[in-house]
Amino acid sequence: MKLIDGKACAASIRAQIKETVEKLEEKPALAVVLVGTDPASQIYVRNKIRACEETGIISYSYTLPETATQEQLEELLETLANDDKVTGVLLQLPLPKKFNAEAAMKKIPPQKDVDGFSAEHLGNLVLNKPGTVACTPLGVMKLLEREGVDLTGKNAVVLGRSDTVGKPMALLLLNANATVTVCHSKTVNLKEICRNADVLVVAIGRAKFVTADMVKDGAVVVDVGINRDENGKMCGDVDFDAVKDKVSLITPVPGGVGPMTIAMLMQNTLDAAKK
């Protein structure tokens, strides 16, 4: 088994971005919008702002209380969309339940959509055309590329079908010529399908869901999950200790996909500013 070191990979990407940003006369500027006080979201936003500081990207942070209205949120996003100083806008998800996330996200124009969540960018991905790709699935592809994993003709299985990770992940793997199966909560024979995976990407948000009997010998396993186990310790969607001796490559949690998501956000922010 070999560990995929996402932390190191992300650090080297951030260093490259920093070099590029230093040479730019007009620095990229990312506006990050957080609604409410979800502790996990607060940590993610803090890490995103910190990555901006490290790479020389200007950041503006906006926090709305949970008591804010949909109108206030959309107004803020519209202001940021029209602000020439701001080159990228990120709305941290999930929003508190009372908000309409889809309507809010529509206020972010595709040129400033550094998450790649807009219909235009998702459409580009479906058509295998250039566009902004969601940070987490893009980070997974970078890790696989860096490890020299050839996806052509491989059975790739994606566990999870979220708009933010599972769906774009499946499309990226398909565009890389893998044979892709997407599994979800209604999937029948989940174990058998997973056991057939040469590459297994797990993004369901359930602690240690993937057990040894679900993994093929020599498989490449990518764990997107960030959960807490019964002792409050951070863990992924994969039962790492049970699976590690069967696989050829595996991402740890923490230190796997997580840092790559943020590095790809910096990359997307830089790319959006250049355009």
Q: Look up residue 242 and give its DSSP letter.
A: H
Residue 59, interface with ligand GUN (CB under 6 A)? no
With CB under 6 A as the contact rule, the residue among 55, 132, 136, 268 that binds ligand GUN is 136
Q: Which among 142, 134, 177 has a CA at the least distance from the CA of 156?
A: 177
Residue 90, interface with ligand GUN (CB under 6 A)? yes
Site string for ligand GUN, 12-31 (x = CB under 6 A): --------------------
Shortest separation between residue 176's beta carbon and ligand GUN, angstroms: 20
Residue 223, interface with ligand GUN (CB under 6 A)? no
The verdict on whether 111 is a catalytic residue reads no
Question: Which CB, 9 or 134, lies closer to ligand GUN?
Answer: 134
Strands of the chain (E only): list them: 2-3, 29-35, 58-64, 88-91, 155-159, 179-183, 199-202, 220-223, 227-228, 234-235, 249-250
Shortest separation between residue 251's beta carbon and ligand GUN, angstroms: 16
The verdict on whether 48 is a catalytic residue reads yes
Residue 251, interface with ligand GUN (CB under 6 A)? no
Question: Per the residue annotation, which of 113, 115, 198, 239 is the catalytic one?
Answer: 115
Distance CA 164, CA 253 (A): 19
Q: 251 by DSSP, 3-state: which?
A: coil
Strand duo 29-35 + 2-3: pairing: unpaired
Residue 261, interface with ligand GUN (CB under 6 A)? yes
Residue 135, interface with ligand GUN (CB under 6 A)? yes
Sheet holding 249-250, edge to edge: 2-3, 249-250, 220-223, 199-202, 155-159, 179-183
Catalytic residues: 48, 92, 115
Where on the chain is the footprint of ligand GUN (CB under 6 A)? 90-93, 115, 135-136, 164, 261
